[in-house]
Structure 1
């Protein structure tokens, strides 16, 4: 949704106008306001309505986070396994 809005904003711009349009969006203040607006929208949509969805979001978010934290160890393990296989190890 946000990407579609951004695309619609920039599709009529010329290439020289693009940096001046995007530059304010890269400021720290703009990012803070965007995050705050997103948190306010989330709070209004899920927290105030007493839905169970935030519990699911925490559970699935924790699963994804743990997967990404374990990924480097798994890759090292698979590389070691492949190396042992290539060199006649166990």
Structure 2
């Protein structure tokens, strides 16, 4: 394993940190109930078909998530009857 590669644990911690950061950003603009897990579920749902993306795309998808995209995800999840 090269020194610059991340272990699975490090990758999960980095993803969790990014999602928590995005959830905090949403809380600042008034979405009080958003959690890091909610952010991850929203972002990761598109990977079900495409597979897991490269790290740079994953980071971009999390950090560029807009509140409107997140609300659309919640609305569609509610219509499908899944937990949001």
Q: TM-score range by the shorter chain?
A: 0.3 to 0.5
* Structure of higher CA gyration radius: 1
Q: Whose RCO is larger (CA < 8 A, sep 6+)?
A: 2
More helix per residue: 1
Relative to the length of structure 1, the TM-score reads 0.34
